[in-house]
Chain A
């Protein structure tokens, strides 16, 4: 009897875990379908009722009700307010289209189920690097025809950002924001160390970092330069004159002299000059941020930190400079940012395009967006404004964006970086692995992951 009971208990436990795992790999099949179905019926009701209203109205009078558009994004809080400011401005500017912003915390997962089962939104706030993974699956609508019809000039946008929104010569949206990392430096710490201008080369950066680092016995009190983010390897590699992927975009391309130069530089900074300590910044959030509390003299970060750092006013006197150039004078930074795209499942693609065009391809609106959200818009004419041109904080970013490159558009790129490259770089930084081994292992494993994740059709 006892045996029977324990067997039964074991069986239930195993089934329960299997279903736990099962639902992980099986999201489309159950729980989310329910949510999507609910969404579906809700939006179906909406469109049905608005259609009805439109139909009855048009029989009565010639003036029709506005088209209702749904705009999905995953920015809440401040971001949501910024989006709503733009949406309201658009709704006020005309009376044919009404846009509504809907906050979706788990946007991508929701979008996946919506894309397959209807109920798709009309406009999607889009992290651009995802394009290479999603566009081949035909869930996004190309905008080339709209572009041609309205005579928009592609040169008005950052070319790299458009490239990131493209797949096989088709463009899938327009860039809303562009960003790139630049060098943030604490003016006071640098001045105390007798440095008046920020570094412009790797050697200067190294010397300045040495001068600003302060150790108290075994305790690091002020780190000269942050080496906490191994994910910036891409940026350093560009500065060393290299590229992450081979020219055909299928293989890694860092197990060479350029990759070696980056790792030797890191090794010097970390283990010989000791300007940083592994784990120094880990877990320090806003308020305890090492740069804010004066425990870090220089770091690479992006415009998204500006509003946080500006809050501290006089307590944090900082400056920004374009990233220092590598040994052969090469400059490099990685461009990222968001765009707006139209899902293939949208029933009002033309109207959705009107909204996207109004927001991203109009100088005044792009500028309104920039001032509301403190982001750099992807539309270049808006950057001519004094708001950007004359601001010492924006200028270095605009300079950096001139040479910044996007991440390679390979659907397996982020996995390659996260699972093959960064773990090996971490082992190298902690002297657990030689330089040659690190690059070789990262290359072998990286090539494998690129191949495994290449097929997306």
Chain B
């Protein structure tokens, strides 16, 4: 008995030794910066000359900052359209490419390719495609007699264009996650369902979808975070314009911190954003739990 205890102790010690480097890095580059940022959000830190404690001033100012709340409205609008479409399209692609057929791997690769391009480079190319007079999209539309809008310059279509470009770039990786999820669904469930005469739709509804719940939870959570932290594409495609309809919280945080040197205020904004992400993720968790349990 005693020797087993000793062995466990020894194993535990070795285990701690092994995780120490990772934990130290985690502490230095994640925990400490987060705590620092929280502290800085109560100061008027400007990087060079001052770091005085100003209590809740930053948060009070934030409360009246209409632009900050508008950026939240913008990303919420983005999220409401982006997240369901993201789940739907990547799931459909995964279902389509889950068959074992000749050449299916090629199609998987091609669908995954946009994910590999740099967000900024891809966005730059999309600017050309979306150009109102000489862009490919509007040229194609003109063949069927439609005069396309100035996609990125008009208030009605600017956010919609960003949604489409980010979708194009993100469905590939989510498709791969869904394919992995689909291959984890045990075949005997389908077999017995077929024996009982279940239709293809019923099999999807009562076997595939519930079995994929953890996968959907992962994909939707990552989408929520990605949506609330939207920055590069919006920055390159529209620079937050027109009329601030595509300005995002991260864009404002960057501007406030690095252009105006108001790191304290920027940290406060960053914390509100982190809290928002936490809240939406919790809601997402509640929704995914309230569905019927896995068979």
CB <8 Å contact, B261 and A133 = yes
Q: Is the CB of B217 within 8 A of A112?
A: no
CB <8 Å contact, A279 and B132: yes
On chain A, the residues within 8 Å of B72 by CB distance are none
A408 at the interface (CB under 8 A from B): no
Q: When A19-B29, A430-B155 are in contact, do A138 and B49 touch as well, CB less than 8 Å?
A: yes
Answer whether residue A6 sits at the interface, using C-beta atoms and an 8 A cutoff: yes
Nearest-CB residue, chain A, relative to B41: A25
8 Å CB contact of A415 from B36, B218, B260: B260
Contacts of A386 in B (CB 8 A): none
Would you call A112 and B47 a contact (CB within 8 A)?
yes
Decide if A434 is an interface residue (CB 8 Å cutoff): no
CA distance A267 to B15 in the complex (A): 71
From known contacts A21-B273, A283-B128, A419-B67, infer whether A113 and B47 are also in contact, taking CB-CB under 8 Å: yes
The complex places the Cα of A17 from the Cα of B250 at a distance, in Å, of 12
CB distance from A428 to the nearest CB of B (A): 9
Determine whether the beta carbon of A283 is less than 8 Å from that of B152: yes
> Which residues in A have their C-beta under 8 angstroms from that of B270?
21-22, 24-25
A14 to B110, CA, bound (A): 32
Q: Is residue B115 contacting chain A, with contact meaning CB distance below 8 A?
A: no
- Rounded to whole angstroms, the CA-CA distance of A218 and B149 in the bound complex is 11
- Stretch of A26-34, A249-257, A316-324 with 4 or more beta carbons under 8 angstroms from chain B: A26-34
Neighbouring B residues of A116 by C-beta, 8 Å: 47-48
Question: Separation in Å of the A20 CB from the closest CB of chain B?
Answer: 7
Q: Which residues of B contact A279 (CB under 8 A)?
A: 131-132, 150-154
Contact partner of B262 (CB less than 8 A), chosen from A23, A27, A453, is A453
Please determine whether A23 and B33 come into contact, CB atoms closer than 8 angstroms: yes
Cβ contacts under 8 Å, A283 to chain B: 124, 127-128, 130-131, 152
* CB of A232 within 8 Å of the partner chain: no
Contact A280 B258, beta carbon cutoff 8 Å: no
Contacts of A139 in B (CB 8 A): 48-49
Q: A22-B37, A29-B36, A30-B32 are in contact. Are A115 and B242 (CB under 8 A)?
A: no
Interface residues on B, range: 35 or more
Which of A26, A282, A411, A419 is the one whose CB lies under 8 Å from B263?
A: A26
**B242 engages A10 (CB within 8 Å):** no
Is B197 an interface residue, CB under 8 A from the partner?
Answer: no
Closest chain A residue to B257 by CB distance?
A25
Q: Is B22 an interface residue (CB 8 A)?
A: no
Contacting residues, chain B, for A10 (C-beta < 8 A)? 221, 281-282, 285
Q: Which residues of A contact B128 (CB under 8 A)?
A: 283, 288
| B241 interfacial by beta-carbon distance below 8 Å | yes
- Decide if A218 touches B260 in the complex (CB within 8 Å): no
Check B191 for interface membership: any CB of A closer than 8 A.
Answer: no
Segment 112-156 of A: residues with Cβ below 8 Å from B: 112-113, 115-116, 133, 137-139
Q: Measured between C-beta atoms, what is the minimum distance from B24 to chain A in Å?
A: 14
A13 in contact with B281 (CB, 8 Å) = yes
Q: A22-B34, A432-B155 are in contact. Are A112 and B277 (CB under 8 A)?
A: no
Q: Which residues in B have their C-beta under 8 angstroms from that of A30?
A: 28-29, 32-33, 36
Known pairs A13-B221, A26-B37, A426-B242; A220 contacts B277 (CB<8 A):
no
Q: State which of B225, B254, B281 has its C-beta within 8 Å of the C-beta of A24.
A: B254
Interface residues of B, Cβ cutoff 8 Å to A: 28-34, 36-38, 40-41, 45-50, 61, 65-67, 124, 127-128, 130-134, 142, 147, 150-155, 214, 217-218, 221-222, 225, 229, 240-244, 247, 250, 253-255, 257-263, 266-271, 273-274, 277-278, 281-282, 285, 289
16 more contacts with CB within 8 A, not counting A26-B33, A28-B47, are A14-B274, A19-B29, A20-B229, A21-B274, A25-B266, A25-B268, A26-B37, A138-B49, A278-B153, A279-B151, A279-B154, A280-B132, A422-B241, A423-B243, A427-B242, A445-B67
